[in-house]
């Protein structure tokens, strides 16, 4: 994904899961937000703001998601302050947010890496309806949980906005 971002010719980059839990039709709304709000650098489709809903998550997955967000706030308060869903897998950003920044995401939490290391001024979250998975199965398991915890520790204690990418 990072190689694709860096090779892209466009000014706006994004992430969306391929299992249709995120509604692709929301991408156009997100792009229109950029057109009408040039001060916004990142638009996040959020599962955790008023107007959003989440279907198809077991109570266990809801607990793990809430715990992950809680730990993110503890470890990275300043980087995620005011952001309700810093672990979203559905977002767009202006390419300039990552230019000259070395991104080193571990696992699937790419937005977290962008929020900590990226160069941005303003973030906007919009609600959406998170749907049941249409195909495949979740890749999240014990290995991903440990990788996420390691990533949090790394970002908290070793985060340097190093140049390079």
Q: What is the DSSP string of 65-98?
A: HHHHHHHHHHH-HHHHTT-S-TT-S-EEEEGGGT
User: What average pLDDT does the segment 53-81 reach?
Assistant: 87
Contacts of 18 (CB under 8 A, 6+ apart): none
pLDDT band for position 164 (cuts 50, 70, 90): very low
The pLDDT tens digits of the residues spanning 18-40 come to: 777 888 999 999 999 999 999 99
| Listed residue (88, 73, 158) closest to 123, CA to CA | 88
State the residue for tokens 């014990």.
142
Which domains does the chain possess?
Answer: 2-158 (3.90.550.10)
* pLDDT reading at 163 higher than 60: no
What is the per-residue pLDDT across 99-158, written as a single tens digit (0 to 9) for each? 999 898 887 789 999 999 999 999 999 999 877 666 666 767 788 889 999 999 999 987
| Residue in this structure with the two tokens 């090779």, named with its chain if needed | 7
pLDDT at 157: 85
């Amino acid at each position: 994904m990072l190689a694709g971002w860096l090779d892209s010719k466009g000014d706006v980059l994004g992430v969306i899961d391929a299992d249709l839990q995120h509604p692709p039709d929301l991408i156009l709304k997100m792009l229109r937000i950029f057109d009408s709000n040039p001060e916004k650098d990142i638009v996040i489709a959020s599962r955790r703001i008023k107007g959003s809903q989440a279907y198809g998550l077991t109570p266990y997955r809801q607990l793990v998601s809430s715990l992950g967000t809680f730990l993110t706030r503890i470890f990275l308060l300043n980087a995620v302050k005011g952001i309700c869903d810093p672990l979203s897998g559905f977002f767009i950003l202006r390419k300039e947010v990552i230019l000259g920044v070395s991104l080193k995401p571990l696992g699937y939490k790419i937005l977290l890496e962008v929020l900590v290391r990226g160069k941005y001024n303003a973030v906007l979250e919009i609600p959406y309806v998170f749907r049941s998975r249409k195909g495949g199965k979740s890749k999240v398991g014990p290995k991903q949980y440990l990788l996420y915890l390691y990533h949090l520790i790394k970002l908290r204690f070793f985060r340097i906005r190093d140049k390079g990418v």
